[in-house]
Amino acid sequence: MNTSPHQSSIELAARLGVDCGVGDVISTSSLGPSLHEVVLGHASRFAGAPGNDIMVRLASSPGHFTRRRYSVRAVDTDRDALTLWITTSHDGSGSRWATNARVGDEVDVVGPRGKITLDHDADWHLFIGDTSGFAAFYRMAQAIETPGRAIFIVEVDALDDVVTSAFDDALGVTGIFIDRQGRGPSDPSGVLSALAAFEFPPDVGHAYLFGEFSVTKAAQVALVDRGLDQDRISRKAYWRAGRNNADGGEPDKSDD
Ligand SMILES: Cc1cc2nc3c(=O)[nH]c(=O)nc-3n(C[C@H](O)[C@H](O)[C@H](O)COP(=O)(O)OP(=O)(O)OC[C@H]3O[C@@H](n4cnc5c(N)ncnc54)[C@H](O)[C@@H]3O)c2cc1C
């Protein structure tokens, strides 16, 4: 196995103050029509805390490379492995990599990345977004101290795209999965109507919004209107409808 990352990955990791190395694909599988699992070996040190992600360096076109960020779904220190769940219903460098990945393929990994982790003072945790958020949502929910409560409001392209997970029996879990029914990916109406129908539990709650730029933005406004404190809302746009993420992995956040 080649153990040297590209010089640009080494420099990026140094700038970010994180680790860098070469991971190798040890398994891949399809979790549904729009979601692919990729398990990377030699990679557990990049996993960080629930909510964190890694950056991978991928070919975007012959001779060109880009970076994409993926939340860590699970970490297995015995196998020195971490698991990613990657959306594949669109055409992009990341979706092509996940779909075509073969056992033994190598990839530069930089991480851990990300500032949003679990709010341990909250009694209930509300996870809002789309298929791209499943990995982070489920890893974070599995880290909630019991008794506690996890609520998922996740929009999917079709109900076949819903993936579920096992949780501690002492955790209260509510899953609200919204069928997009052909609405555009930046149309927040499905998520907003599910949110409007959902009554906040008592006590302290924290909302985590991961997914499409405009949908997560609209959900954030709706949560503030409902009286949730800004400090209890963590939003990260993962992608933006109609626009490629930049080579640094971030979606366009301009206002137009
Ligand atoms: C912190 C962070 C964590 C992330 N974690 C995850 C994760 O765990 N799983 C995951 O799948 N993605 C995650 N993403 C998004 C991921 O990094 C990529 O941006 C996304 O997968 C698209 O990359 P791409 O190269 O395939 O497509 P791009 O080149 O970015 O986009 C190509 C086209 O596809 C569209 N598109 C992109 N994503 C989607 C989508 N999900 N559904 C429909 N159309 C889309 C774009 O609008 C564009 O038109 C995360 C992003 C960030 C910033």
Please write the tens of the pLDDT for every residue from 4-20: 999 999 999 999 999 99
Distance (angstroms) between ligand 1 centre and the Cα of 155 equals 15
pLDDT at 161: 93
pLDDT at 93: 97
Q: Which residues of 221-248 are buried (b: 16+ CB within 10 A; e: fewer)?
A: ebbeeeebeeebbbbbbbbbeeeebeee
Q: Find the distance separating the first CA and the last CA of the chain, reported in whole Å.
A: 45
Atom 36 of ligand 1, residue of closest alpha carbon? 90
Could you tell me where in the chain the CATH 2.40.30.10 domains are found?
A: 7-113
pLDDT at 233: 98
| CATH class given for the domain over 7-113 | mainly beta
Please write the tens of the pLDDT for every residue from 58-72. 999 988 999 999 999
Mean pLDDT score, 71-100: 97
Identify which of 73, 87, 234, 235 to mutate to test ligand 1's pocket (most ligand atoms within 8 A of the CB). Answer: 87
pLDDT at 2: 59
Atom 37 of ligand 1, residue of closest alpha carbon? 239
Whether 40 has a pLDDT exceeding 90, the answer reads yes
Atom 49 of ligand 1, residue of closest alpha carbon? 242
pLDDT, greater one: 3 or 80: 80
pLDDT at 182: 93
pLDDT, greater one: 1 or 215: 215
Domain 124-239, CATH number (from 2.30.30.60, 3.40.50.80, 3.40.50.1000, 1.10.3720.10):
3.40.50.80
Distance (angstroms) between ligand 1 centre and the Cα of 79 equals 27
Identify which of 31, 90, 91, 115 to mutate to test ligand 1's pocket (most ligand atoms within 8 A of the CB). Answer: 90
Q: Are 190 and 183 in contact (CB under 8 A)?
A: yes
Distance (angstroms) between ligand 1 centre and the Cα of 226 equals 29
Atom 7 of ligand 1, residue of closest alpha carbon? 70
Whether 170 has a pLDDT exceeding 70, the answer reads yes
pLDDT at 171: 97
Residue 19's nearest CA partner among 5, 39, 2 is 5
pLDDT at 3: 76
Cα separations in angstroms, 144 against 29, 140, 177, 229: 27, 7, 21, 20
Percent of the chain surpassing pLDDT 90: 96
Please write the tens of the pLDDT for every residue from 119-135. 999 999 999 999 999 99
245 lines ligand 1 (CB under 6 A): yes
pLDDT at 250: 93
172 lines ligand 1 (CB under 6 A): no
Could you tell me where in the chain the CATH 3.40.50.80 domains are found?
A: 124-239
238 lines ligand 1 (CB under 6 A): yes
Q: Is the pTM of this model over 0.95?
A: yes
**DSSP strand E in 19-138: where?**
19-32, 35-41, 53-61, 64-76, 81-87, 106-113, 124-130
pLDDT at 255: 83
